[in-house]
Amino acid sequence: MNKKTIIQIVLIVIIVIILVIAFFRYFDNSQKIIIEDNEKLVNQELVNQKLDTNDNRLDSIEYITTDNKGNQYIIRALSGHIDNKNPELIIMQDIWSEITLHNLEKIQITSSAAIYNSRNFDTQFSNNVKIIYGKHKISCEKSDLIFSENLAKLYDNIIYENIYTKLFADKMEINLVTKDSKVYMNDTNSKVKIIQKNGNN
């Protein structure tokens, strides 16, 4: 083998080595770039997910409060979230609540939705609202519980029932302590409809 052939072989080997080194360097760098980009995408997705759910979402909610007169108010909800514009407000779904008065009498309120104010405990119930105290049952579309005044205001499609009476009205106000109530119709020309029952229904 002459000297010229040896030099050619050496040059070819050197070129191959350079090409191999260059290839692997490029491949490794491109792989790193892809991995880094993927990590950025994954991290961004996680950030977006946190912002979307941003856990102002709440599950299995319960608030309990007692006023200076000894009246206790419990409200529970299956789920809800904090209002972004007003953090004092909790938007709730599937609600069960109970007021236990200082004389131990209980008033239960359930609804499909509610807005609860965590500062003053006032609650706006809506959708399939039902109120039960003793042998009295009331259903309506909306009800405002003003806890500081021991007052419940009921609106829209009100049906009140006890053993002897069934009543239909548009508005009702109930003092939760004395049970005194006022009943109204939206149209002043309309009258509250009252049906007397025989006591066995």
Q: How many CA atoms are closer than 13 Å to the CA of 78, on its beta-carbon side?
A: 7
The answer to the question of residue 23 being in a domain is yes
Which of these three, 16, 35, 54, is where a domain ends? 54
User: 171 and 146, same structural domain?
Assistant: yes
* Structural domain for 156, as ranges: 57-196
In a domain, 161, yes or no: yes
> Total domain count for the chain?
2
pLDDT per residue over 92-118, tens digit each?
999 999 988 877 888 899 999 999 998
- Are 91 and 40 part of one and the same domain? no
**Does the structure show a pLDDT above 70 at 49?**
no
Same domain, 23 and 77: no
Phi, psi of 9 (to 5 degrees): -65, -45
What pTM was computed for the model?
Answer: 0.66
Residue 37 has pLDDT above 60, yes or no: no
DSSP H or E stretch at residue 198: none
Under a CB-based contact definition with an 8 Å cutoff, are residues 75 and 91 in contact? no
Model pLDDT for residues 159-172, shown as the tens digit of each residue: 998 888 888 998 98
Q: What is the DSSP letter of 99?
A: E
Q: What is the pLDDT of residue 22?
A: 55
Q: Which residues contact 52 (CB under 8 A, 6 or more apart)?
A: none
On whether both 61 and 50 belong to a single domain, the answer is no
